[in-house]
Amino acid sequence: MPGPDLDTRIETYYVRVRGVVQGVGFRHHTVRKAHALGVRGWVANLDDGSVEAIVQGAANQVDLMLEWLRRGPPHARVTDFHSEERYVEKRYERFEQH
């Protein structure tokens, strides 16, 4: 019996991005990209200058979002990227900027 289709299986990832990621529109561009890909969750600045996010959606879309977050928007300079899958029951309804 085949496993869940990558287009329908819901994944949730926690992401932390460091570098020049605040003051360059990182959160705004992340929300736009998430909406374009159809993923849900949130993105927020942290006091240490990094950005964190929760990304949830179909496996293929989440993979594309994680790939985009590794680079960030044009004016960002990502120097460190960390992501880990989280097993959560919560289902986000949209992608928000905090």
The verdict on whether 91 is a catalytic residue reads no
Measured distance CA(82)–CA(74) in Å, rounded: 19
Our answer to whether residue 71 is catalytic in this structure is: no
User: What is the Cβ-side half-sphere exposure of residue 19, based on CA atoms within 13 angstroms?
Assistant: 18
Give me the count of residues in the chain.
98
Of the residues 9, 16, 18, 27, only one is catalytic, namely 27
Task: Name the catalytic one among 16, 18, 32, 45.
Answer: 45
Residue type, 3: G
> What is the set of active-site residues?
27, 45
